């Protein structure tokens, strides 16, 4: 029997990278998994890749009507929720002099607003003993050039976990953050103009990481499984760094 047998999980940003790897792991452990993303074609591909009991819901976490529709689907089909992995995020590197209001709003809309309202809308479905997992980043604690708004947004995610830990006292719902380091996902390619630049970025991250390599999405999924399952039943309010030591030394 899997560690999430007969449970229900929602994963935003579940169509690629860390979200996709986590959806696969959760499904393998017996969960009914809802993956959420903006692009239907990628969601369809993810469903095929995951197999098991998985359902794709096309939604934009920055749109409250989409989140309300997600709530209605999960409530009707499953009646409640055991695990919420608020994982959707986006990054665009810009130093201070290049920040525009559009860049600021886009960064905070996805990484903070979208996360807050995802949790707000789905919290009424959470069963006692449930787990809410938020995706943070080493950028939330390190000074990384050109990560001004992204780092600030991820620091906000860490703060929200502390606040919700106190707000939910007595409800039996845990909330924790996973802060990945440099993970080999398509998000690295999105930060580079060419494949050569992406390769150079990967090499630079590997050199900066004490373990000497990038992390794999499956390694974040393993940490998410720990926080989602009863293995972490006495763990709440933490920031779990899965970063190869990048932010630790």
Tokens matching residue 37: 């993303």
DSSP letters, 120-168, are: HHHGGGEEEEEEEEEE--GGGTS--TTBHHHHHHHHHHHHHHHHHHHHT
Residue 40 has pLDDT above 90, yes or no: yes
Q: Are 42 and 56 in contact (CB under 8 A)?
A: no
Name the percent of the chain lying above pLDDT 90.
89
Residue 238 has pLDDT above 80, yes or no: yes
Q: Are 32 and 8 in contact (CB under 8 A)?
A: yes
Pairing of strands 81-86, 174-180: unpaired
Residue 8 has pLDDT above 80, yes or no: yes
Pairing of strands 174-180, 8-12: unpaired
The confidence score (pLDDT) of residue 1 equals 84
The confidence score (pLDDT) of residue 195 equals 83
Mean pLDDT across 83-104? 95
Residue 77 has pLDDT above 90, yes or no: yes
Q: Which of 50-54, 170-174, 176-180, 227-231 has the lowest mean pLDDT?
A: 50-54
The confidence score (pLDDT) of residue 215 equals 97
Phi, psi values for residue 11, rounded to 5°: -125, 115
**What is the distance between the alpha carbons of residues 36 and 74, in angstroms, rounded to a whole number?**
12
Strand, helix or coil for residue 48: helix
Name the percent of the chain lying above pLDDT 70.
100
What would the pLDDT profile of 128-161 be if each residue is shown by its tens digit? 999 999 999 999 999 988 899 999 999 999 999 9
Tokens 């590197």, residue? 93
The confidence score (pLDDT) of residue 242 equals 98
The confidence score (pLDDT) of residue 82 equals 98
Give all strands (DSSP E) within the chain, no chain letters.
8-12, 32-37, 54-58, 81-86, 126-135, 174-180, 239-242
The confidence score (pLDDT) of residue 201 equals 87
Tokens 């990967």, residue? 202
**What is the distance between the alpha carbons of residues 22 and 14, in angstroms, rounded to a whole number?**
8
Overall size of the chain counted in residues: 249
Q: What CATH number should be reported for the domain whose range is 8-242?
A: 3.40.50.720
Per the prediction, the chain carries an average pLDDT of: 95
Residue 107 has pLDDT above 80, yes or no: yes
C-alpha torsion sign, points 34, 122, 136, 3:
negative
Q: What is the pTM of this model?
A: 0.96
> 192 or 194: which carries more pLDDT confidence?
194
Q: In 32-50, which positions are buried (b, 16+ CB within 10 angstroms) versus exposed (e)? A: bbbbbbbeeebbeebbeeb
71 tagged catalytic: no
Residue 96 DSSP one-character state = G
The confidence score (pLDDT) of residue 57 equals 98
**What is the distance between the alpha carbons of residues 118 and 187, in angstroms, rounded to a whole number?**
21
Q: Which of 50-54, 93-97, 168-172 has the lowest mean pLDDT?
A: 50-54
The confidence score (pLDDT) of residue 186 equals 82
**What is the distance between the alpha carbons of residues 174 and 114, in angstroms, rounded to a whole number?**
20
Mean pLDDT across 227-237? 98
Residue 192 has pLDDT above 80, yes or no: no
**What is the distance between the alpha carbons of residues 246 and 208, in angstroms, rounded to a whole number?**
7
The confidence score (pLDDT) of residue 194 equals 83
């Amino acid at each position: 029997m899997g560690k999430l047998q007969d449970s229900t999980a929602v994963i935003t940003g579940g169509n690629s990278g860390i979200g996709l790897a986590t959806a696969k792991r959760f499904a393998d452990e017996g969960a009914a998994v809802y993956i959420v993303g903006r692009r239907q074609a990628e969601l369809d591909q993810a469903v095929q890749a995951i197999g098991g009991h998985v359902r794709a819901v096309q939604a934009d976490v920055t749109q409250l009507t989409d989140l309300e529709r997600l709530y209605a689907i999960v409530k009707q089909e499953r009646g409640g929720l055991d695990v919420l992995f608020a994982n959707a995020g986006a990054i665009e590197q810009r130093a201070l002099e290049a920040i525009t209001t559009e860049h600021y709003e886009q960064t905070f809309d996805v990484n903070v607003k979208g996360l807050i309202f995802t949790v707000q809308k789905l919290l009424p479905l959470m069963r006692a003993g449930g787990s809410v997992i938020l995706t943070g980043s080493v950028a939330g604690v390190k000074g990384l050039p050109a990560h001004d708004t992204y780092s600030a947004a991820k620091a906000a995610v860490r703060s929200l976990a502390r606040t919700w830990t106190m707000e939910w006292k007595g409800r039996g719902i845990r909330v924790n953050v996973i802060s990945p380091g440099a993970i080999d996902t398509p998000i690295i390619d999105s930060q580079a103009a060419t494949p050569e630049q992406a390769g150079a970025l990967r090499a630079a991250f590997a050199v900066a990481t004490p373990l000497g390599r990038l992390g794999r999405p499956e390694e974040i999924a393993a940490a998410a499984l720990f926080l989602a399952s009863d293995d972490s039943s006495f763990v709440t309010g933490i920031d779990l760094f899965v970063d190869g030591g990048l932010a630790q030394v």
